[in-house]
Amino acid sequence: GEDVEQSLFLSVREGDSSVINCTYTDSSSTYLYWYKQEPGAGLQLLTYIFSNMDMKQDQRLTVLLNKKDKHLSLRIADTQTGDSAIYFCAERDSGGYQKVTFGTGTKLQVIP
């Protein structure tokens, strides 16, 4: 089945850039997502990228997709303490059901 992997933990200083990485195995992925989970809350969609795109920018967020290597990254510029959360990568396949598979999540700690 599909597999989505992320490193479990990332620590950055406030004001620096954060880069959260994700690798996936399903070559037929159509959409790739980044969700944010704040403490004690459910997941919220941050951004997504269609599989025929290489990059998408949305304010402080930049998503890069390397389809050949099946690698997705999320860059957060000027990281703030409010960005401390768990970030989940997810991919959606192109099958009839178009199942979404989530990664393990990366806990981002922002040090003031």
Partner 1 sequence: EAQVTQNPRYLITVTGKKLTVTCSQNMNHEYMSWYRQDPGLGLRQIYYSMNVEVTDKGDVPEGYKVSRKEKRNFPLILESPSPNQTSLYFCASSLSMRPGAHEQFFGPGTRLTVL
Q: Which residues bind partner 1 (CB under 8 A)?
A: 1, 4, 6, 8, 30-31, 40-45, 48, 88, 92, 97-100, 102-105
Give the residue with the Cβ less far from partner 1, 2 or 14: 2
Amino acid (one-letter) located at 20: I
Q: Closest distance between partner 1 and the C-beta of residue 18, in Å?
A: 19
* CA distances, 11 to each of 34, 53, 88, 91 (Å): 18, 28, 16, 24
Give the residue with the Cβ less far from partner 1, 57 or 104: 104
What tokens were used for 95?
Answer: 């099958």
* CA nearest neighbour of 19 among 100, 91, 73, 86: 73
Roughly how many angstroms between the first and final C-alpha of the chain, as a whole number? 40
Give the residue with the Cβ less far from partner 1, 42 or 112: 42
Q: Closest distance between partner 1 and the C-beta of residue 99, in Å?
A: 7
Q: Closest distance between partner 1 and the C-beta of residue 85, in Å?
A: 13
